[in-house]
A and B are shown apart, each in its own frame.
Chain A
């Protein structure tokens, strides 16, 4: 009997969705309660898994493997390394927060609450699956299939030009996915020509020696473009602001907080591991694009008038940091990038959720419509302030640690890129402080006097997010202990060694 932890974690949300399906559709409260209970149970399971994870062991843990389609060598194979664990933890922690914070999000949708929560729970299963898969084919199945619930969540429950945004999101992602499919087929055939057909990530990792540089570069690009669309990296980012602006705040949290991480996760798990030589070939180009993303996202954020778009642009800038950290090929930058994925998930969640509440109360998402919220709604204003500070990587808050690690780790190998990227921090101060000043401080402008502060449910939802942001800012080592061995292994398996002997200050 194999350890079924991961499969059970993936089955639980599906069971929750089924329970919702058979629950009476008149009882909306029951639907929400089932959704909340399910996501909480999964979150507890995720925490227990993290506790029992042996972080000194760099081999995959919680491994399960069953034959799925033997004629193609396809397995249902899941397992965790430190990086996958961190991202699954992020997903399962954000899910109940999203449910609780967006208690009334399904209102104003095309369909009822039932469909909304069923889509959300199915999405949770796929989020766990996409990070847990250790079979490339299985990964691809989750990667593509998860687009469908997100598509309906944006298009059915969003606001504004929701249908157009949903389609743009889906087409971009499908295009990238199909390029990746071509690369996966390439891997499949090459594995067949050099042994037996397989999709096992560990077996495929040794395959690069059989590829000509040209083949390896093309296969790498197939994967990378798919992930760069997902992440998103400039110039493939244009779908994100539309999608984030149209989706409900909860969907946006999952979209930017978790789904986009599939892109950066994929870069580590698939691009670096499977195609080490091609990764080295393309590193200068990718680092350049990453730096452009950092600055471009920041500039767009400074100019943004819509609060949701602003958050989306800041994310493009942050994803630039993450991508740069991944391709800097040092343990430090790599660990920083993974930690950044986690931290970005929480700070974006905080920003989006609070922004969502502000927008719902003010009935406007234009920044200039807000003013002086600090006096009327102190709790909401403080939450937004802390989230913003975390987003600009204020020391003492979680993002600072990861951004610092990325910059230091990158500097040892690519000093110029690191120096230019540092300007991103300066710009971050601008794009966060300007709206904070406009919306929160100063005299209360007309239209904002009657806004109510956060209610108890909202306070309960945002409290754990704030706690994570603050605690990890001071004490990131529990996570780093999990991430570091995995990150170091990715780097050494690349045939890279850390360039400077002083790169041990991150413990």
Chain B
């Protein structure tokens, strides 16, 4: 190190999807600063969608490029990275439509809950259009996270997508105190886990004298470093990652945040964060620490087993639809961990498919949640969902479809995902994951079906709960996720083949 300063060489065309998203985010900030209030909402939506669509186009154009490291070895461009970034962009696009339905967001984020200022801002029909650039910044961070190739970039990306999410979680229009509490919880626990993460980074640096993934990988193969540092490094780094994916015992934030955050944000966060965090996790365990599998695999297997069982069992006790979906996402994190543990090509393919399929279905399910309301906002108490099938058969049927996909019933994307991820796990010899996985799926089926029973077989309660007629944007989100969920269940072959021919990791 030292001496002359080298101008960084950046491969702009390979980095273009990320750069486009960042540019869009900055334009969004400028609009907030200079555009008149009345025109912000529509222009922000337009800019955000254009940005995401352009980024996706750029990504698709790059998709068959040769796998190389870019940006001075701080990031990589490879097949898995393209697929993960593509999933994040698709999920972001379908969730941005939900943001357009501004009823979910507070009128003025700075106003104290219950204050005069808040009342006035509501009367003036103010809108927080800041959500759009914040989401774009989060998307950029999420896109960098799974392609980061050194620990510093990884950490910067982690913070880059976490900070906007902390903010966004506190912007709910109704029950603002709860929303702010959720944001604070998310922030404190997130900061705590970031500290663990950094701690792990420093141990890995101490072990390998390198912050790049290839340097750490060489050190693992060479086996010359101090193994205690390596183990501590893996352990603390994993804590940070497992926190983001919501695995037990680092899951405690997720039910509160899922419940408190505005539902469009919950949808985006639940789906896209999982893709980003599992993407990074797959990269680290598959390409950096693969040779050290004897050390981390047993522990991660235990975490996966506990996560599946705990998520499924505790979800049974939930009476709130958003909390139930939160625990269901914990169970799914356990299933996804099986893909990480599988440590083979089919595990990688299966994980990417699962992440995409689960992400899309999650956005769709939360989009339906935004529709069930009474005079004071969304109704998430499950008891008040009873008889929904009578009042709005279409909405109830669509929601039942998403639940069946989560439960992994054949002809939905969830089933193909479950099949592929468990078969990959079993292929790698992890019989315990297979058996526990199917058993916890059986438990999970119970609470998904209970909601279906509630909607279709229980009489409705007359308490003013009604389904609002979805805006064209929300309709689009729901329709698209529904179609994708079932299309991937019936004709998964093209996507599976695309994934298996594209997915690869380089260091």
How far is it, in angstroms, between the C-alpha of A438 and the C-alpha of B287 when the chains are bound? 76
A contacts, CB < 8 Å to B: 67-72, 110-111, 140-142, 144-145, 147-148, 152, 155-156, 162-163, 166-167, 170-171, 174-175, 178-179, 181-182, 185-186, 188-189, 192
How far is it, in angstroms, between the C-alpha of A30 and the C-alpha of B338 when the chains are bound? 51
Would you call A148 and B419 a contact (CB within 8 A)?
Answer: no
Q: Known: A71-B500, A171-B449, A174-B445. Is A179-B438 also a contact (CB below 8 A)?
A: yes
Q: Known: A140-B410, A156-B457, A163-B453. Is A178-B434 also a contact (CB below 8 A)?
A: no
Chain B residues in 8 Å Cβ range of A69: 416, 492-493, 496
Would you call B457 and A185 a contact (CB within 8 A)?
Answer: no
Chain B residues in 8 Å Cβ range of A166: 453, 457
Would you call B497 and A70 a contact (CB within 8 A)?
Answer: yes
Would you call A163 and B458 a contact (CB within 8 A)?
Answer: yes
B interface bracket (residues with beta carbon within 8 Å of A): 35 or more
Would you call A178 and B493 a contact (CB within 8 A)?
Answer: no
Q: Known: A69-B492, A110-B390. Is A181-B419 also a contact (CB below 8 A)?
A: yes
How far is it, in angstroms, between the C-alpha of A182 and the C-alpha of B425 when the chains are bound? 11
B residues 432-468 touching A (CB-CB < 8 Å): 434-435, 437-439, 441-442, 445-446, 449-450, 453, 456-458
Return the contact of B449 from the options A170, A182, A189, A192 (Cβ within 8 A): A170
Chain B residues in 8 Å Cβ range of A185: 419, 422-423, 426, 434
Residue from B390, B492, B500 whose CB has the most chain A CB atoms within 10 Å? B492
B residues 355-413 touching A (CB-CB < 8 Å): 389-390, 393, 404, 407, 409-411
A-B contact pairs, 17 of them (CB 8 A): A69-B493, A70-B497, A71-B493, A110-B390, A111-B393, A140-B410, A148-B404, A162-B457, A167-B449, A167-B450, A167-B453, A170-B449, A174-B407, A181-B438, A182-B434, A185-B426, A189-B427
Does B41 sit at the interface, judged by CB under 8 A?
no
Would you call B438 and A178 a contact (CB within 8 A)?
Answer: yes
- Knowing that A174-B407, A178-B441, A179-B438 touch, tell me 18 more A-B residue pairs with CB under 8 angstroms: A67-B493, A70-B493, A71-B500, A72-B419, A72-B420, A110-B389, A144-B409, A145-B409, A163-B453, A163-B458, A178-B445, A181-B418, A181-B419, A181-B422, A182-B434, A185-B423, A188-B423, A189-B426
- From residue B64, how far is it (CB to closest CB) to chain A in Å? 19
How far is it, in angstroms, between the C-alpha of A193 and the C-alpha of B340 when the chains are bound? 21
Q: Known: A163-B458, A166-B457. Is A192-B427 also a contact (CB below 8 A)?
A: yes
Would you call A189 and B423 a contact (CB within 8 A)?
Answer: yes
- From residue B313, how far is it (CB to closest CB) to chain A in Å? 15
Q: Is the interface of B mostly helix, strand, loop or mixed?
A: helix
Chain B residues in 8 Å Cβ range of A156: 456-457
How far is it, in angstroms, between the C-alpha of A175 and the C-alpha of B418 when the chains are bound? 15
Chain B residues in 8 Å Cβ range of A182: 422, 434-435, 437-438
Residue from A170, A171, A182 whose CB has the most chain B CB atoms within 10 Å? A182
Chain B residues in 8 Å Cβ range of A148: 404, 409
Would you call A163 and B457 a contact (CB within 8 A)?
Answer: yes
Chain B residues in 8 Å Cβ range of A175: 442, 445
B contacts, CB < 8 Å to A: 349, 389-390, 393, 404, 407, 409-411, 415-416, 418-420, 422-423, 426-427, 434-435, 437-439, 441-442, 445-446, 449-450, 453, 456-458, 492-493, 496-497, 500
Q: Known: A69-B493, A156-B456, A181-B419. Is A171-B446 also a contact (CB below 8 A)?
A: yes
Would you call B442 and A71 a contact (CB within 8 A)?
Answer: no
Q: Known: A144-B410, A155-B453, A163-B458. Is A71-B496 also a contact (CB below 8 A)?
A: yes
Return the contact of B493 from the options A68, A152, A174 (Cβ within 8 A): A68
Return the contact of A141 from the options B390, B404, B411 (Cβ within 8 A): B411
How far is it, in angstroms, between the C-alpha of A366 and the C-alpha of B410 when the chains are bound? 39
Would you call B456 and A110 a contact (CB within 8 A)?
Answer: yes
Chain B residues in 8 Å Cβ range of A70: 493, 497
How far is it, in angstroms, between the C-alpha of A69 and the C-alpha of B426 when the chains are bound? 19
Closest to A187 in B: B423
Closest to B393 in A: A111
How far is it, in angstroms, between the C-alpha of A291 and the C-alpha of B457 when the chains are bound? 37
Closest to B450 in A: A167
How far is it, in angstroms, between the C-alpha of A156 and the C-alpha of B456 when the chains are bound? 8
How far is it, in angstroms, between the C-alpha of A144 and the C-alpha of B449 when the chains are bound? 14
- From residue B281, how far is it (CB to closest CB) to chain A in Å? 23
- From residue B208, how far is it (CB to closest CB) to chain A in Å? 35
- From residue A222, how far is it (CB to closest CB) to chain B in Å? 9
- From residue A310, how far is it (CB to closest CB) to chain B in Å? 26
How far is it, in angstroms, between the C-alpha of A179 and the C-alpha of B440 when the chains are bound? 11
Return the contact of A110 from the options B411, B457, B497 (Cβ within 8 A): B457
How far is it, in angstroms, between the C-alpha of A189 and the C-alpha of B416 when the chains are bound? 15
Please provide the 3 A-B residue pairs with the shortest distance between their CB atoms, ordered closest to farther.
Answer: A163-B457, A141-B410, A178-B438
Would you call A178 and B439 a contact (CB within 8 A)?
Answer: yes
- From residue B128, how far is it (CB to closest CB) to chain A in Å? 41
How far is it, in angstroms, between the C-alpha of A141 and the C-alpha of B427 when the chains are bound? 22
How far is it, in angstroms, between the C-alpha of A171 and the C-alpha of B447 when the chains are bound? 10
Closest to A197 in B: B423
Chain A residues in 8 Å Cβ range of B456: 110, 152, 155-156
Closest to A155 in B: B457
How far is it, in angstroms, between the C-alpha of A413 and the C-alpha of B480 when the chains are bound? 59
How far is it, in angstroms, between the C-alpha of A178 and the C-alpha of B438 when the chains are bound? 6
Chain A residues in 8 Å Cβ range of B410: 140-142, 144-145
Closest to B459 in A: A110
Would you call A186 and B426 a contact (CB within 8 A)?
Answer: yes
How far is it, in angstroms, between the C-alpha of A199 and the C-alpha of B489 when the chains are bound? 18
How far is it, in angstroms, between the C-alpha of A31 and the C-alpha of B410 when the chains are bound? 28
Chain B residues in 8 Å Cβ range of A141: 410-411, 415
Chain A residues in 8 Å Cβ range of B416: 69
Chain B residues in 8 Å Cβ range of A71: 349, 493, 496-497, 500
Closest to B436 in A: A182
Closest to B458 in A: A163
How far is it, in angstroms, between the C-alpha of A245 and the C-alpha of B349 when the chains are bound? 46
Q: Known: A144-B410, A145-B411. Is A178-B427 also a contact (CB below 8 A)?
A: no
Chain B residues in 8 Å Cβ range of A67: 493
How far is it, in angstroms, between the C-alpha of A69 and the C-alpha of B441 when the chains are bound? 23
Chain A residues in 8 Å Cβ range of B458: 163
- From residue B498, how far is it (CB to closest CB) to chain A in Å? 10
How far is it, in angstroms, between the C-alpha of A144 and the C-alpha of B393 when the chains are bound? 23
How far is it, in angstroms, between the C-alpha of A497 and the C-alpha of B389 when the chains are bound? 56
Closest to B428 in A: A189
How far is it, in angstroms, between the C-alpha of A386 and the C-alpha of B228 when the chains are bound? 80
- From residue A284, how far is it (CB to closest CB) to chain B in Å? 25
- From residue B339, how far is it (CB to closest CB) to chain A in Å? 14
Chain A residues in 8 Å Cβ range of B427: 189, 192
How far is it, in angstroms, between the C-alpha of A148 and the C-alpha of B446 when the chains are bound? 14
Chain A residues in 8 Å Cβ range of B446: 171
Residue from B393, B442, B458, B492 whose CB has the most chain A CB atoms within 10 Å? B442
Return the contact of A72 from the options B411, B439, B496 (Cβ within 8 A): B496
How far is it, in angstroms, between the C-alpha of A113 and the C-alpha of B456 when the chains are bound? 16
How far is it, in angstroms, between the C-alpha of A188 and the C-alpha of B425 when the chains are bound? 12
Chain B residues in 8 Å Cβ range of A162: 457
Chain A residues in 8 Å Cβ range of B393: 111
- From residue A289, how far is it (CB to closest CB) to chain B in Å? 22
How far is it, in angstroms, between the C-alpha of A175 and the C-alpha of B458 when the chains are bound? 24
- From residue A5, how far is it (CB to closest CB) to chain B in Å? 22
